[in-house]
């Protein structure tokens, strides 16, 4: 072996060979247990950086470990290739989005291979390919057939910069999730998926996902937002109409002093026949003033404002008249688009009532000793009812049940369950996406494109207007295609199933293939997708389960892991800061194995990492020390060492050799435990590699023919293979082994070798510490002296001196007195 480790040569050599041998394809019909692991598929933006590498390195280490632990591993890769960034980038560059995306995929595929990842590339998918989005369209039509895809006029979130609609989940603090511009509200005819039909199951089944981070489950619970309450029907005075209100505080119904409705509520238009022209004009002007406002501005950032409609509603229990107001803080898409204003017991209603001098009527007091008194703020707690007719004196809980029964008997309401979750808006007014397979015909109306005509191909940009003109599939008369495309989260909500059967022309996947591989055993990706991709994927999978298209359970991902970010010198990487650490640069300067070891070592994987030159240099030194330790032992020669199963740890008496064997098996135990526990804290494993190589280096200097050292050298490629795959493969070959190290079984830790029977003996020369040596816990005084005298550092301090005496403290210290 050469003295210096030539990582460029080694890494290129093995990447080419792995690719040629198709090493990482799972074996069909393999009797081993299956293990399906994957990372969230990347968006092909152009170049990968170290932040991406952390995700793929962790996923690759897990896949390699599970393969070596005896599993038939499926580890695929693909591209989330449709979407707004590609379209905008292509427009800015004057190129076609398809060409721009294909070029990026080509480069990023090269970079991912450069990272030494063990993906099965025969299953590669790109969501912008007709072979994939054909099945998006097919699934859309199945959802529509079952009443789960529908079109309606609705207020929508509009991004003025990207000129497209956003789903509720894509609005973060009132801003577009992609470009951060303030979101506006517009009314458009849009396609929705009825995810609310699965709200109960999506919520309840979170309890079964004990392999998911609790924080993610909590975010989904909060997003679904189930609440128990009642639906109350308020008659509108003078109209044969009513307004439905959902409330969780039915016990406060006698304290309702107004109704607040959204400007978009259907009752507002109906009231125009009842109220004066002056009121109608005020309502219209107020509604127009809110058109450019986002939901966040309307609900939290702005003061509570409204206009009186001139109309009144009737409280179904007290029969009192209460005014109807149009307000800025009630949204048409949440609840029923109307709320009962109870200013004495709701902070928002209190502020509104104070502003417009509306009555504030207290109907709840504290359970113990509470009395009615002028309120300086709303009282929002449960308590005891006052001024509430027959319900006066009841507790809040008892009153809610009694009032719900009373309303139900009168046909004026009933107990009900409410959700914050809204149906999923999938329409996008953009070109680069999956065409929605619907045609609009003057004679036939809304017509689905037949399955045999799928896919509806996305046309070239310059032919888009012509593409919209098409004959009706039903009558043949001239018709027009749907111009909207699908939200890109549609295609990423089921791609894990297409990986299983990517070349199937008859179905998106075959049932028997899904039965063999699903569900996904380990999913790795960012926490930012907690209520977008992950919730949508669960919805889709439950729908597929209900149709009988998959076998087994109705959850797609058994275990979920969120990796942390990677900073550079303490700051988030960005092109504007000039601190983006690229994959190509890192591979050339330090080598891919060093990069992988650094990313796995620097912190536990769920935490934020900090990239530093000093840190990566430390991993480079570790690889060089591994290389040299093996080089010294083998003496530049190679010879077959036999299979791992054939070799047993040698029997040794020397304390240092015992420590070396213990280090070998401690490293193996750490790797196995971190994998099977799904913690993936491989930073502790790599720290044990440091300890192991230190011991190997020390023993190689003293006892180059040590049996324990030879065992460590022969075993090292197995230990490091999942984490530093290139150097592991090279060492394995140079040991004379045939076949790939990555198809070997991982070392089974021998618990007997992990028992510590050694002590650290402190050796002093004339009272000063000159060495710390490992010794058997039962070491005698004579053996301790003999061990000390073999230590090169101790010998150096005794050189030219006579050993006069020694002082021995059993099991702790040996002081050599020399003159």
Q: What letters, b where the CB count within 10 A reaches 16 and e where it falls short, cover 247-268? A: bebbbbbbbbbbbbbbbbbebb
- In this predicted structure, the answer to whether residue 635 has a pLDDT above a threshold of 70 is no
Architecture in CATH of 227-418: Alpha-Beta Complex (3.90)
To 10 degrees, what angle do helices 707-720 and 613-634 make? 140
pLDDT single digits (tens) 9-45: 999 999 999 999 999 999 878 899 999 999 999 999 8
- In this predicted structure, the answer to whether residue 302 has a pLDDT above a threshold of 80 is no
Residues 6+ apart with CB under 8 A from 538: 202, 205, 555, 556
- In this predicted structure, the answer to whether residue 647 has a pLDDT above a threshold of 50 is yes
Going along 584-714, which residue ranges are E strands? Answer: 609-611
Q: Which residue has the higher pLDDT, 548 or 88?
A: 548
Could you give the residue range(s) of every CATH 3.40.50.620 domain in the chain? 7-137+492-572
Name the class of domain 7-137+492-572.
Answer: alpha beta
Confidence (pLDDT) at 294:
64
Mean pLDDT throughout 649-672? 93
Q: Strand, helix or coil at 424? A: strand
- In this predicted structure, the answer to whether residue 433 has a pLDDT above a threshold of 50 is yes
CA 528/CA 170 separation, integer angstroms: 11
Q: What is the CA radius of gyration of the chain?
A: 35
CA 266/CA 239 separation, integer angstroms: 13
Segment among 113-117, 436-440, 674-678, 771-775 with least mean pLDDT: 771-775
- In this predicted structure, the answer to whether residue 370 has a pLDDT above a threshold of 70 is no
Q: What is the topology classification, in CATH, of domain 587-754?
A: Isoleucyl-tRNA Synthetase; Domain 1 (1.10.730)
Confidence (pLDDT) at 184:
83
Confidence (pLDDT) at 292:
66
Mean pLDDT throughout 165-178? 78
- In this predicted structure, the answer to whether residue 362 has a pLDDT above a threshold of 90 is yes
Architecture in CATH of 758-818: Roll (3.10)
pLDDT single digits (tens) 600-621: 999 999 999 999 999 999 999 9
Confidence (pLDDT) at 318:
97
Among 175-179, 186-190, 272-276, 789-793, the range with the most confident prediction by mean pLDDT is 789-793
Integer angstrom CA distances of residue 167 from 158, 428, 538: 9, 9, 17
**Facing residues of 384 across strands?**
365, 395
- In this predicted structure, the answer to whether residue 776 has a pLDDT above a threshold of 80 is no
What is the rounded average pLDDT for all residues in the chain? 92
- In this predicted structure, the answer to whether residue 571 has a pLDDT above a threshold of 60 is yes
Going by the DSSP 8-state scheme, the letter that residue 716 receives in this structure is H
Mean pLDDT throughout 797-807? 91
- In this predicted structure, the answer to whether residue 640 has a pLDDT above a threshold of 70 is no
Mean pLDDT throughout 91-103? 91
Confidence (pLDDT) at 296:
64
Segment among 195-199, 310-314, 363-367, 460-464 with least mean pLDDT: 460-464
Query: Residue 638: pLDDT band by 50, 70, 90 thresholds?
Result: very low
- In this predicted structure, the answer to whether residue 565 has a pLDDT above a threshold of 60 is yes
Query: Residue 702: pLDDT band by 50, 70, 90 thresholds?
Result: confident
Mean pLDDT throughout 516-527? 97
pLDDT single digits (tens) 209-248: 999 999 999 999 999 999 999 999 999 999 999 999 999 9
- In this predicted structure, the answer to whether residue 636 has a pLDDT above a threshold of 80 is no
**Facing residues of 480 across strands?**
440, 469
Confidence (pLDDT) at 147:
98
pLDDT single digits (tens) 573-598: 877 777 889 999 999 999 999 999 99
Could you give the residue range(s) of every CATH 3.90.740.10 domain in the chain? 227-418
- In this predicted structure, the answer to whether residue 637 has a pLDDT above a threshold of 70 is no
The C-alpha angle 12, 18, 21, rounded to 5 degrees, equals 140
Confidence (pLDDT) at 639:
47
CA 25/CA 695 separation, integer angstroms: 37
């Amino acid at each position: 072996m050469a003295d210096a480790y030539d990582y460029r040569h080694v890494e290129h050599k093995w990447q080419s060979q792995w690719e040629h041998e198709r090493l990482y394809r799972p074996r069909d019909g393999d009797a081993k247990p299956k293990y399906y692991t994957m990372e969230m598929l990347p968006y092909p933006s152009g170049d990968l950086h170290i932040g991406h590498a952390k995700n793929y390195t962790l996923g690759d280490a897990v896949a390699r470990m599970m393969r070596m632990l005896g599993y038939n591993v499926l580890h695929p890769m693909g591209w989330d290739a449709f979407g707004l960034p590609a379209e905008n980038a292509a427009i800015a560059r004057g190129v076609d989005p398809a060409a721009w995306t294909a070029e990026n995929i080509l480069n990023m595929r090269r970079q991912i291979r450069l990272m030494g990842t063990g993906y099965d590339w025969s299953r590669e998918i790109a969501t912008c390919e007709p072979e994939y989005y054909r099945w998006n369209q097919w699934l859309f039509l199945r959802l529509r057939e079952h009443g789960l895809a529908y079109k309606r006029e609705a207020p929508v979130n509009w991004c003025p910069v990207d000129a497209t609609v956003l789903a509720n989940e894509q609005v973060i603090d009132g801003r577009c999730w992609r470009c951060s511009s303030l979101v506006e509200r517009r009314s458009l005819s849009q396609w929705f998926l009825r995810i609310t039909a699965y709200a109960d199951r999506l919520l309840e089944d979170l309890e079964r996902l004990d392999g998911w981070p609790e924080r993610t489950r909590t975010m989904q619970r909060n997003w679904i937002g189930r609440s128990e309450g009642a639906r109350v029907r308020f008659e509108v005075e003078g109209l044969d109409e009513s307004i439905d209100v959902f409330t969780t505080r039915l016990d406060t119904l006698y304290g309702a002093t107004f109704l607040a409705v959204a400007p978009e509520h259907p009752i507002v238009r109906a009231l125009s026949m009842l109220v004066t022209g002056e009121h109608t004009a005020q309502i219209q002007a107020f509604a127009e003033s809110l058109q450019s406002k986002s939901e966040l501005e309307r609900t939290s950032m702005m003061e509570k404002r409204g206009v009186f409609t001139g109309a009144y509603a009737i409280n179904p229990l007290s029969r009192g008249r209460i005014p109807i107001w149009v307000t800025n803080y009630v949204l048409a898409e949440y609840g029923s688009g109307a709320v009962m204003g109870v200013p004495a017991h709701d902070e928002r209603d209190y502020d509104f009532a104070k502003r417009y001098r509306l009555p504030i009527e207290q109907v709840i007091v504290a359970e113990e000793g509470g009395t009615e008194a002028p309120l300086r703020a709303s009282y929002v707690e449960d308590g005891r009812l006052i001024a509430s007719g027959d319900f006066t004196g009841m507790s809040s809980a008892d009153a809610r049940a009694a009032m719900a029964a009373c309303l139900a008997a009168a046909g004026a309401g009933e107990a009900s369950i409410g959700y914050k979750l809204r149906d999923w808006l999938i329409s996008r007014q953009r070109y680069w996406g999956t065409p929605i397979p619907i045609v609009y015909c003057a004679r036939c109306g809304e017509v689905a494109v037949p399955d045999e005509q799928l896919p509806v191909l996305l046309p070239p940009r310059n032919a888009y207007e012509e593409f919209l003109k098409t004959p009706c599939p039903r009558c043949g008369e001239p018709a027009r295609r749907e111009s909207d495309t699908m939200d890109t989260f549609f295609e990423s909500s089921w791609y894990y199933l297409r990986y299983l059967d990517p070349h199937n022309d008859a179905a998106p996947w075959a049932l028997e293939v899904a039965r063999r591989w699903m569900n996904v055993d380990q999913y790795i990706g960012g926490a930012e997708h907690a209520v977008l991709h992950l919730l949508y994927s669960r919805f889709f999978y439950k729908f597929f389960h209900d149709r009988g298209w998959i076998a087994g359970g109705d959850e797609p991902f058994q275990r979920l892991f969120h990796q942390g970010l990677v900073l550079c010198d303490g700051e988030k990487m960005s092109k504007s800061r000039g601190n983006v650490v690229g994959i190509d640069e890192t591979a050339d300067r330090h080598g891919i194995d060093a990069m992988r070891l650094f990313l796995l070592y620097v912190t536990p994987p769920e935490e934020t990492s900090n990239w530093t030159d000093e840190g990566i240099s430390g991993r480079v030194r570790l690889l060089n020390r591994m290389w040299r330790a093996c080089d010294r032992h083998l003496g530049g020669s190679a010879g077959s060492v036999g299979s791992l199963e054939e070799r047993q740890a040698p029997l040794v008496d020397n304390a240092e050799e015992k420590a070396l064997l213990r280090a070998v098996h401690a490293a193996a135990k750490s790797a196995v435990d971190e994998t099977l526990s799904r913690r993936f804290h491989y930073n502790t494993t790599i720290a044990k590699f440091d300890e192991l190589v230190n011991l190997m280096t020390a023993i190689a200097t003293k006892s180059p023919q040590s049996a324990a050292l030879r065992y460590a050298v022969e075993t090292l490629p197995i230990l490091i293979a999942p984490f530093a795959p290139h150097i592991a493969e090279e060492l394995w070959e140079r040991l004379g082994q045939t076949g790939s190290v990555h198809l070997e079984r991982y070392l089974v830790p021998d618990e007997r070798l992990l028992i510590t029977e050694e002590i650290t003996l402190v050796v002093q020369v004339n009272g000063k510490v000159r060495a710390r040596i490992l010794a058997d816990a039962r070491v005698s005084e004579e053996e301790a002296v003999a061990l000390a005298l073999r230590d090169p550092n101790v010998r150096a301090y005794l050189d030219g001196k006579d050993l006069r005496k020694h002082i021995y403290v059993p099991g702790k210290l040996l002081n050599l007195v020399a003159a």
